Amino acid sequence: MFWNRGMSKESNEANETDRTPSTPTPEGATAEGATPAESVSLMTPEELALLREKADQVDGLKDRILRTVADLENFRKRAARERQEAVQYANQSLLEKLVPALDNLDMALSAVSSTQGTSMDSLKTGVEMVLVQLKSVLRDSGLEEIVAQGQPFDPTWHEAVSEQETTEVPEGHVLQQLRKGYRLQQRLLRPATVVVARQPKAS
């Protein structure tokens, strides 16, 4: 009888164990750990604030990197453009110094042309040769003479010193060129000094 009572007690405990329901393990978590969502929910407000701050810092660094890359690209393009212009306009300073020499040769040629005598003919020929040669060299270097006589006045290339009433040319056109102008490629070296025509007043 004693043995039967002991067996009955052990059998009852085993049955109770079998009837106890087991708790299922949440998906994405182990029995020992929590899910990522549960981990975030378990963070303190201070930890959440720190996490957001770090995320903002990452975004800020990303924007700075993008701006830096854009600035470097702009710098590269600007440097290439300036280098090209430096090569294109390398002779600008030299040409500016030579322009007055052209003026002197022009004036000398005009003076010789107004002097009579065979002795002046050879001098005139020599000056003409020098002037033609000099202009050819300067033209090959990119120097261009600004043609102003009879052209519409253009403040980009012309400098008006006065106006004069006339019917020889239309109003607003260059009546007289007092001094030649020059440009290097499309860059102005010196404007042409001109007198601009004005319509005569009705009498």
- pLDDT tens for the chain, 203 residues: list them: 444 444 455 555 545 555 544 545 454 444 445 555 555 567 788 888 888 888 888 888 888 899 999 999 999 999 988 888 887 787 787 788 888 888 888 877 777 777 665 567 777 787 888 888 888 888 888 899 999 999 999 999 999 999 999 999 999 999 999 999 999 888 999 999 999 999 988 76
What are the Cα distances from residue 89, in Å, to 61, 97, 141, 157, 170?
41, 14, 9, 18, 36
| 128-154 CB burial, b ≥16 within 10 A, e <16 | eeebeeeeeebeeebbeebebeebebe
- pLDDT for res 160: 96
Amino acid occupying residue 183: R
Domains of the chain: 144-203 (2.30.22.10)
Cα gap 148→190, rounded to integer Å: 13
pTM equals: 0.52
pLDDT of residue 19: 52
**Amino acid 4: pLDDT:** 47
* 180/176 Cα distance (integer angstroms): 11
Distance CA 68, CA 76 (A): 12
Amino acid at site 74:
N
